Amino acid sequence: MFFLMRAFTHFSIPIKGLKNGIHEYKYKVDDEFFSKFENGVVQKGQVEVFLELDKRSDHLELIFDIQGYIDTECDRCTADIKLPIDEEQVLMVKYNTELETMDDEVWYITNDTQTINLAQIIYEFISLSVPFIKVYDCEDEDNPPCNMEVKEKLEEKDQEKNAKEVNPLAEVLKNIKLN
């Protein structure tokens, strides 16, 4: 973890001496960034992170606006796609007299903490924005990335399945003749 934070010094924010109020930061996240997180959910992509940091006397509120895409495989047709990411996340950072700790929604830091490094949390927020099923409506694009052969086979299978799933009660009712 120490190596990771050293590799991402430009993701560190000096909070000691930072004046109370709103501060804005912008980060570009690319393949090099993702490569530092071995065996991660996301390995490639182009993402911009807009950060609004609201420093107050007793805590920090960080609002992350995450936009861009990740490179992945479509779960519908297996084509390589650029899956759009558009997410907003909020992180509270509170001062505590104990050693630096964190939980799911709040980071705790000591009053004498000089900087906070956001690389890990940015990666986690991007990873959390990846949907469980990786598909998107690419049909509106000029050149959709879909694997049409796979897509056509899936549509054929769906049609076959729908044809076989005839309701037996409906069949009986069709044969009743009313006078």
* Cβ contacts of 13 within 8 Å, gap of 6 or more: 25, 53, 115, 116, 117, 118
pLDDT digits 0-9 by tens, 85-107 = 999 999 999 988 765 566 667 88
Length of the chain: 179
Residue 72 scores a pLDDT above 70:
yes
* Residue 21: C-alpha distances to residues 62, 79, 86, 91 (Å): 12, 46, 26, 16
Residue 166 scores a pLDDT above 80:
no
| DSSP string computed for 106-165 | EEEE-TT--EEE-HHHHHHHHHHTS-SS-----TTSSS----HHHHHHHHHHHHHHHHH-
What is the per-residue pLDDT for 77?
A: 80
- By C-alpha distance, which of 16, 128, 110, 117 is closest to 66? 128
What is the per-residue pLDDT for 165?
A: 61
Q: Residue 135 corresponds to which tokens in the numbers above?
A: 């598909």
- Calculate mean pLDDT across residues 70-83: 87
Residue 119 scores a pLDDT above 90:
yes
Least confident of 40-49, 70-79, 96-105: 96-105
Q: Which has more confidence, 95 or 144?
A: 95
Least confident of 25-29, 66-70, 128-132: 128-132
Residue 2 scores a pLDDT above 50:
no
Residue 40 scores a pLDDT above 60:
yes
What is the per-residue pLDDT for 19?
A: 94
